[in-house]
Structure 1
Amino acid sequence: MARIIQTGRMAALAVTVLLGACQTDSFSSNGSPEGVPIALESIDGAPPPVRTALINELTTAAADRKVELVGSAAQARYRVRGYLSTETVNGETKVAYVWDVFDSEQRRAKRLTGTSPGKVAGKTISASDKETLAKLANASMDEIAEFLSAAGSATPIQTAANVDSEAVAAQ
């Protein structure tokens, strides 16, 4: 168990070193995911070699989409926890994934789910299934980047209480 935790910490550190821990607390004006640091906290359901290989693929996919991954100990706007499993449908084994994106107050902001676009060789995924892991990472990071972009271009919602207090102040 300690080795798994150590592997996860080393992978998070590698992500931090690879992408840097440059922090910005404001969203880009064009609604892109740039400048919105996210921390990949965990990926459950995968053996350590698969987890490490997937983190490498996610790092590449994040860089391609200008998503800023930081280490799990770093300050981040969002924190992501992933869950993997394999499922067999009509004789074809695929990797099912869930990514829970949490805000800075540890509330789930988004849940992303799906299956890998490619099939797995055998009944379980292995670190050698690089094509499947790359497809999974690309599909996952597309969804995460889309979420970050939408969150960056969203304007604050005006609540009824705000409208009422503004109306009273105007009188």
Structure 2
Amino acid sequence: MRFKEVARLARRFLLPVLALVLTVGLAGCASGSLTGAFSGASSKKTATAPVSFAPIIGAPANVSSQLSSQLLEEARKKDIQVITEHGKSAEYTVRGYLAASQDRNANKVAYIWDVTDKSGKRVHRILGEETTPLKPGRDAWSTFDETALRKIASKTAADLAAWLPKQAASPAAAPQPAAAKKRQTAPPPKTRKPKQVARRTPSGPIAAYVPAVKGAPGDGRKSLTGALRKQLAS
């Protein structure tokens, strides 16, 4: 009799508990799969707007070529989309201007990178300078080796990556219900058209301002600023 009572109690209490455990386990598996799906979708990387680099102005040909190559390398390290193929248009164009000078303590290269949109309007500017030790009998450009140019490229790419807007894939448009389509086919109510006022567009030349280059001892501040102004005006 005792065995039969134990079996009856087991069926009465253990079966509901087992059913509950199975239900919770299945729910956990389902939620886990959904979590994985959503986490995979949210981890999708966003790319920057594509850019292209224009030829560098103001530096010797060998310096411009070496710096351009290093800029491409540093930009790709920062996941910046760089357009190099002919026939493809970039969202932004980066134009570089360099000017070198010497003072009693060091050689200096000041650089300006102007970022323009498709219409040619400047939307961002990067300013900076790099120094190298003086070497007897050598001009400023000859002292800027691969290491010094790499610093300019790295700083420029970091600033550009921080500024560039990100582009995410646009979601697919959801289908409209039939009721919404019917409402769209109805003619819109008549409204009074406002009077158009002619807008005045500003005319005249646009002045470019070159701020003084900071951090240059002695006459370096004036010479660097003057060199940049001369380069931009040409």
TM-score exceeds 0.5:
yes
Shift of the 57–124 alpha-carbon distance from structure 1 to 2, 3 Å rule, reads same
| Aligned residue type for 2:65 | T
Residue 87 of structure 1 deviates from its aligned partner by 2.9
CA contact (8 A) 1:33 1:67 kept: no
Partner of 2:96: 82
Q: How does 1:20-39 map to 2 (within 5 A)?
A: 34-39=47-52
Number of aligned residues: 121
CA contact (8 A) 1:58 1:141 kept: yes
**Matching residue within 101, 106, 111 for 2:120:** 106
2:125 counterpart of 1:93: no
Give the TM-score of the pair, scaled to structure 2: 0.46
Partner of 1:141: 157
Query: What residue ranges of structure 1 are gaps of 5+ in the alignment?
Result: 1-28, 154-171
**Which region of structure 1 is more displaced relative to structure 2, 64-73 or 136-145?**
64-73
**Inter-partner Cα distance in structure 1 for 2:129 and 2:82:** 22
Residue 109 of structure 1 deviates from its aligned partner by 0.3
CA contact (8 A) 1:33 1:145 kept: no
**Inter-partner Cα distance in structure 1 for 2:143 and 2:107:** 16
CA contact (8 A) 2:109 2:129 kept: yes
CA contact (8 A) 2:102 2:140 kept: no
**Matching residue within 66, 71, 76 for 1:53:** 66
2:147 counterpart of 1:131: yes
CA contact (8 A) 2:78 2:158 kept: yes
2:71 counterpart of 1:64: no
SS at match of 2:47: coil
**Inter-partner Cα distance in structure 2 for 1:126 and 1:53:** 13
**Inter-partner Cα distance in structure 2 for 1:35 and 1:143:** 13
- State the Cα RMSD in Å: 2.7
Residue 152 of structure 1 deviates from its aligned partner by 3.2
| Aligned residue type for 2:122 | R
Give the TM-score of the pair, scaled to structure 1: 0.62
Partner of 1:41: 54
Judging by fraction of residues, say which structure has more strand: 1
Shift of the 42–90 alpha-carbon distance from structure 1 to 2, 3 Å rule, reads same
Q: Whose relative contact order is higher, 1 or 2, with alpha carbons under 8 Å and at least 6 apart? A: 1
Query: What residue ranges of structure 2 are gaps of 5+ in the alignment?
Result: 1-41, 168-234
**Inter-partner Cα distance in structure 2 for 1:100 and 1:92:** 26
Residue 42 of structure 1 deviates from its aligned partner by 2.0
Task: Tell me the alpha carbon deviations over residues 113-133 of structure 1, each in whole angstroms, 9 at most, x when there is no partner.
Answer: 1002x4265432249700001
> Once the two structures are aligned, what percentage of the paired residues are identical?
29
SS at match of 2:54: strand
CA contact (8 A) 1:42 1:80 kept: no
CA contact (8 A) 1:39 1:72 kept: no
**Inter-partner Cα distance in structure 2 for 1:39 and 1:56:** 13
